[in-house]
Chain A
Amino acid sequence: MILICKNYKENNESYEEVIDWLLYNNAQFDFLSGEDYYENGKHWSIALDNSQDKLSIPFNEYKSVWFRGFLRHRYHLEETFKDLESTNDNIAELRWRIGQEIGRINTQIFNNFRDTYQLPSPLSVKSDKFSMLRLAKELGLDIPDSLITNSKKELLYFFKKQQHVITKPLYETVYFNDESYVAFFKTDKITEEVIESLPSTFFPSLFQGYVEKDIELRAFYIEEEFYTMAIFSQLDPQTKVDFRNYNDERPNRNVPYVLPKEIETKLKILMKELNLNTGSIDLIKTPDKKYVFLEVNPTGQFGFVSKPCNYYLEDKIANTLIQHDR
């Protein structure tokens, strides 16, 4: 039996298509979500007497786990916080603490999968961007010049050298809003004016030199195989900074691409080191034909690569799960 770990609240088309292929191949599958543990009022426990998780989930029946997600943190215990009378600081601290606790508990839940094939292992999906870059560099891959600093002076120096600088979160790209504000944790361009407006020390952040693009590449990796797509984001001046601002009239040209063997070999080692058997790898090919590694998204989207390149990744994923479910 196959187990699909996901956030019940999140759905998307390419995910649904994997389910279609599982159905078409008569595969047996179940779903599991963090909501089953934290929100649905079910009884469960994990005891250290070697017995398995007692959420009446027959973990030993699952031979193959597809990990897409588990829980969206911001929904935890929303109700509890509503009635709590306390200072904002205390509530923030409380939320953070609870988040940390949940992380540890989840690790124990995921421990149920230890003898199961996992695509990918939920314990491997959390690595941060800087460690990935460090590893990539050690393996001889080109990376953007990267810097974590809290110092205006250092940043200015970095900016002078690089000319173009972006900042991005070390962890995930997210944004959230309240009545009075929107907070972004995302990739953004840093201008001289932005730096001027900073105090002499600020919250430590990751900065990277802007990499000149010929094309952007997305490589979907699954079990030693690469399905790479080239994104011609430079054709259209409207999308020069980040292709996610695409232009509906003339969507960027997305076509199949073959990475040089030597780059694939290094990326394979990188994925092994990160203990990831699947993931979506972002790269940039520069005008002088260097391949610059940016990051890996272990549970990233794949439909936008699969469709324009006719790669049938949905079938590939379903098949991989089925093969290990024997």
Chain B
Amino acid sequence: MNKKSFKLFANCIIVKGASLATICDLHRGKVYSIPLPLAEFLEKTENDDTLEDIKKFSQEDQETVQEYLEYLEKNELGFWTDEPDRFPDLNLQWKSPEHINNAIIEIEQLDNDDLQKITTALTNLLCKFVEIRFYKTIDLDKLAFFAEHCAKSVIRSITVFLPFTSKLDIKEIEILSIKYPRIVLFIVHSVKEKNTTIKTNNPKIQMISRVIDGQSHCGIIDPKLFSIKIPVFTESLKFNSCLNKKLSIDSNGNIKNCPSMSNVFGNIKTDDIETVAESLNFQKNWNIHKDLIDTCKDCEYRRVCTDCRAYVDNPEDLYSKPLKCGYDPYINKWEDWSRNPLKQKAIKYYSFQEFLKN
């Protein structure tokens, strides 16, 4: 009989951590945890005679490996082939046709002049995704002005965060959602549970009870938010999973990587946004990829994790692990990050305590 190799599909990729590995199924968007020795076996055997390779294990282990292979085959993560060379690995190159991919705008304090500058810059920078944040007040005219001035851009989607206030006019929002199809989602936050006065069937409008009245809501690491896709995986090999090609304008018009970070690279009142965005200094943090980050570099989720550089365990250290991650890749346990005794100093530093009580 011909020799046969067991091979994972090219878009199901093994990532090895300190004590577990994952198979990231980038096609169907799922992550599977597997034991490290199995990961190593799969990597070794993929172009080999797998049945021969299995024989090298002890009797007991052979059965376990067999069972695993059956599991992988049944879940369509791998297949048997006698022509392994015809199935090459996935090309892991990453590139994207934009100077800035996504932008966060804290819009409340900005005036129309500012917004005009921002939309012009986003258009020229070929920005694709925009997040607009209203924390405490709403000004839908501003939003309309912004959307209007994006007409010539390649922006694919605009997501808007709005607080629930007595002034909130759901009809107005519905009108905007129809008039500006690029606004794909309105998230009305801080909605009190008992409040039933506002109702809408518009699928673009979501009501959530979470209070998002400041920057510190951001940066949560949660497997539910993992993005298990080829572009995310490949980008993470060389670039930061959150900050790469991101541009933020905070409420004071400061040009930043992210509104929550203290680094300011200029201000829209005095500086040209495009020049700032294209400067090496601004792009420095884009290169902090997961293999450089403490703990994350040993984590089997590092290629699909969202990362955060604003809130980290040691605020003095750029390469420190995200504060709001409760995962320990050395013992493979998720726990509540905000209760971790080792994180209390950093939590105090970012003065999160108030926020956590909410």
Residues of A within 8 A of B (CB): 17, 20-21, 23-24, 230, 232, 235-236, 250-251, 253-258, 289, 307-312, 314-315
Specify which of B76, B90, B95, B98 is in contact with A250 (CB 8 Å cutoff).
Answer: B76
Considering the chains assembled together, what is the distance between the CA atoms of A312 and B93 in angstroms? 9
Further 6 A-B residue pairs, CB within 8 A, beyond A236-B76, A310-B90, A310-B230: A23-B126, A24-B126, A251-B28, A253-B76, A255-B11, A308-B230
12 A–B pairs (Cβ distance < 8 Å), ordered by A: A23-B97, A24-B97, A251-B27, A251-B28, A256-B10, A256-B90, A258-B86, A308-B27, A309-B91, A310-B90, A310-B230, A312-B95
Given A315-B95, A315-B97, decide whether A230 and B28 contact each other with a Cβ distance below 8 A.
no
Contact A24–B98 (Cβ < 8 Å): yes
Contact A310–B97 (Cβ < 8 Å): no
B203 at the interface (CB under 8 A from A): no
Given A24-B98, A253-B76, decide whether A310 and B93 contact each other with a Cβ distance below 8 A.
yes
Given A20-B126, A315-B97, decide whether A255 and B87 contact each other with a Cβ distance below 8 A.
yes
Q: Is the interface of A mostly helix, strand, loop or mixed?
A: mixed
Given A232-B79, A256-B88, A258-B86, decide whether A307 and B230 contact each other with a Cβ distance below 8 A.
yes
Contact A256–B91 (Cβ < 8 Å): yes
B97-141 to A contact mask, C-beta < 8 Å, 1/0: 111000000000000000000000000001000000000000000
Contact A258–B85 (Cβ < 8 Å): yes
Considering the chains assembled together, what is the distance between the CA atoms of A256 and B230 in angstroms? 13
Contact B230–A21 (Cβ < 8 Å): no
Tell me, rounded to whole Å, the shortest Cβ–Cβ distance linking B307 to chain A. Answer: 21
Contact B90–A257 (Cβ < 8 Å): no
Residues of B within 8 A of A (CB): 9-11, 27-28, 76, 79, 83, 85-93, 95, 97-99, 126, 154, 230, 234
Considering the chains assembled together, what is the distance between the CA atoms of A193 and B79 in angstroms? 37
Q: Is the interface of B mostly helix, strand, loop or mixed?
A: loop
Most buried by A among B9, B79, B92, B97: B97
Given A250-B76, A307-B230, A310-B90, decide whether A20 and B28 contact each other with a Cβ distance below 8 A.
no
Q: Identify the closest chain A residue to B99 (Cβ).
A: A24
Q: Which residues of B contact A251 (CB under 8 A)?
A: 27-28
Q: Which residues of A contact B9 (CB under 8 A)?
A: 232, 253, 255
Contact A235–B76 (Cβ < 8 Å): yes
Tell me, rounded to whole Å, the shortest Cβ–Cβ distance linking B228 to chain A. Answer: 13
Q: Identify the closest chain A residue to B234 (Cβ).
A: A310
Considering the chains assembled together, what is the distance between the CA atoms of A21 and B92 in angstroms? 19
The 8 A-B pairs of least Cβ separation, nearest first, read A24-B97, A20-B97, A255-B10, A21-B97, A310-B91, A253-B9, A255-B9, A258-B86
Considering the chains assembled together, what is the distance between the CA atoms of A251 and B30 in angstroms? 13
Q: Which residues of B contact A21 (CB under 8 A)?
A: 97
Considering the chains assembled together, what is the distance between the CA atoms of A319 and B230 in angstroms? 22
Considering the chains assembled together, what is the distance between the CA atoms of A54 and B27 in angstroms? 49
Tell me, rounded to whole Å, the shortest Cβ–Cβ distance linking B277 to chain A. Answer: 14
Q: Which residues of A contact B234 (CB under 8 A)?
A: 310
Tell me, rounded to whole Å, the shortest Cβ–Cβ distance linking B78 to chain A. Answer: 10
Tell me, rounded to whole Å, the shortest Cβ–Cβ distance linking A155 to chain B. Answer: 36
Considering the chains assembled together, what is the distance between the CA atoms of A256 and B84 in angstroms? 12
Contact B90–A309 (Cβ < 8 Å): yes
Q: Which residues of B contact A236 (CB under 8 A)?
A: 76
Most buried by B among A23, A255, A309: A255
Considering the chains assembled together, what is the distance between the CA atoms of A250 and B27 in angstroms? 10
